[in-house]
Structure 1
Amino acid sequence: MKKLGVIAFMLLMQSIAAQTNRFVYQVTMKPDASNKNDIKTENAYLDISKDKSMFYSENRLKRDSIFQQAFQGGGGRGMISRDQMESLRSNINYSIEKDKTSQKTYFKDRIGRDIYTYEEDRPMNWKIFPETTKIGEYKVQKAETDFGGRHWTAWFTADLPYQDGPYKFTGLPGLIVKAEDDKGDYSFDLMKNYKLAELPSLNQFGNTIKVKRADYIKQQERFAADPMSFMNSGGGQMRMMTRGGEGGPPTPPADARKRMEERIKDEAKRNSNPIELK
């Protein structure tokens, strides 16, 4: 009976280890360099499994579901209304995957029709301070680093034994509960956590193109200057004809194209204060 009890305990621990822990962060951003009063707030997920973790916007899963239904549907079911898209707009259009075995971090972002991905090539060097405080239910300790042209202060807790955190942050002896840059432009605050059966699968519409980080930055700059050249190249799945609103008439392709170009350029202006400055 004692042996059976040990086996049952080991199976239980394996089951727990196989689970995915989801940490929900509130992300506060000031993406417009010309208007620091324009503050954006949304939730993002850090899903941690045994082998890897993923960080992405909460709205990403909702958008994926709508896109999947639209692409699989025919006729009117294939249309995506402007109202739907507006309700799921996000300033976190990237996703980040950290491989625990290789200790590598991978960044993914859509540019036009395709997904560009690169391996992070800069180390994250932390300075840990003896200062401690309490955030919510967790005792946390202070750490600082310079990364992406910003100086970051983070508070991590050994109560959650994951050397992980939101965005690309990793390498501290505990989960990062809060991180904020010294200009107050970006902050990540842990709100809650719960368990999942497994890591979700994120849809990847379009081709996935592996590049160096420097090449990704160049492609971003090209896209901002001429977005439609990226939308026109290759065979895309997204229809240019969308509904003008709930039950509204379809928008002609030429008008939709012009509206898309104006929207992309406007978004570029409103995202002139990126999380990474260099």
Structure 2
Amino acid sequence: MKKIVIIALAFCIQNVFAQANRFVYQVTMKPDAANKNDIKTENAYLDISQEKSVFYSENRVKRDSIMQKTFQSGGAISFNRDQMEGLRSNINYSVEKDKKNQKTYFKERLGRDMYSYEEDRPLNWKILSETTKIGEYKVQKAETDFGGRKWTAWFTTDLPYQDGPYKFSGLPGLIIKVEDSQGDYSFDLMKNYKIADFPSMNQFGNTIKVKRTDYLKQQKKFQEDPVSFMTQGGGGFAQTRIGGGGGISAPRGNSRGGGNPGDFRKRMEERVKEDAKKNSNPIEIQ
């Protein structure tokens, strides 16, 4: 009987450690430098396990689910374009923190491929004596300069995680709130709950590992010539590629005569440039 109890206890402990904790943040952004009254708000998840954490958009999970059902049905189930448009996100990236190696990885799609780099700038926090209460948590103030912005964070030691949204981490507790001094970006913890495991993200195209400085060059190149990133060349950048195909190539026109490659290029360039204008105030300005 004692042996059965020990086995059952071990199984329960294993299940607890197999779980992850999800922290839901409300992200408030002013991505358009020319129109600070255009405020975007959406939710993002910070999923934390013993080994790692991942920060990503809630809308990405919803979009992935719809796309996955469409692909699995072989096209028998079509997605609602208006619904997909409503799930567009200003958080088109994910941030993964490897707890064992103390490394942070940023990933974002440019065209058909996913680009990934290791963050090479440390977060140097100044912990202040000021405390207050946010919701149910007693929090303490900390400040840092990162990505060309001055950030103020409030962390709590009530939760045993030295983590936070986006690339923020390294304080003696979980970051409950962090915002920049200009009021352009704010991350506010709304709620948290346990999940069985990290969700699987749809991976189309390749994952290309680059240095951060090279990623910034590729990002600029994509904004100037997005069509080149929809072809096999992926913008012409030779780096480590992981995974198989599955990317989306530029169409060569259609049988109904609805578009030729020139029209497609023009429409795509106009859309990317318009998006670039609307996102002229990025979270990192340096």
Match of 1:238 among 229, 245, 248: 248
Per-residue CA deviation, residues 28-79 of structure 1 (Å, 9 max, x unaligned), is: 00000111000000000000011100000000111112222333444564x5
Aligned residue type for 2:212: R
SS at match of 2:197: coil
Q: Number of paired residues?
A: 269
Q: Partners of 1:83 and 1:251 in 2: how far apart? A: 24
8 Å CA contact 1:227–1:264 kept in 2: the answer is yes
Aligned residue type for 2:38: D
TM-score (norm 1): 0.89
Question: Counterparts in 2 of 1:105-120, with a 5 A limit?
Answer: 105-120=104-119
Shift of 1:175: 0.5
Provide the residue aligned with 1:245 in structure 2.
Answer: none
Q: Partners of 2:75 and 2:249 in 1: how far apart? A: 11
Match of 2:276 among 268, 275, 278: 268
Question: Counterparts in 2 of 1:1-278, with a 5 A limit?
Answer: 8-74=8-74, 77=77, 80-234=79-233, 237-238=247-248, 252-254=258-260, 258-278=266-286
Per-residue CA deviation, residues 212-256 of structure 1 (Å, 9 max, x unaligned), is: 000000000001111112123457643767xxxxxxxx9934455
Q: Partners of 1:17 and 1:160 in 2: how far apart? A: 16
SS at match of 1:220: helix
Aligned residue type for 1:193: N
8 Å CA contact 2:230–2:248 kept in 1: the answer is no
Shift of 1:14: 3.3
SS at match of 2:276: helix
Shift of 1:262: 2.0
Shift of 1:92: 0.1
Q: Partners of 1:71 and 1:232 in 2: how far apart? A: 21
The structure, 1 or 2, with the larger RCO (C-alpha pairs under 8 Å, 6+ apart) is 1
Q: Partners of 2:24 and 2:104 in 1: how far apart? A: 20
Q: Partners of 1:272 and 1:41 in 2: how far apart? A: 17
CA 1:211–1:263: 2 relative to 1, 3 Å: same
User: CA RMSD for the aligned pairs?
Assistant: 2.2
Aligned residue type for 2:41: T
Q: Partners of 1:194 and 1:67 in 2: how far apart? A: 26
List runs of 5+ in structure 2 lacking aligned partners: 234-244
Aligned residue type for 2:183: G
Q: Which stretch shifts more, 232-241 or 63-72?
A: 232-241
Q: Partners of 1:85 and 1:2 in 2: how far apart? A: 55
Seq. identity, %: 72
Q: Partners of 2:264 and 2:70 in 1: how far apart? A: 17
Q: Partners of 1:72 and 1:262 in 2: how far apart? A: 32
Q: Partners of 2:173 and 2:204 in 1: how far apart? A: 34
SS at match of 1:260: helix
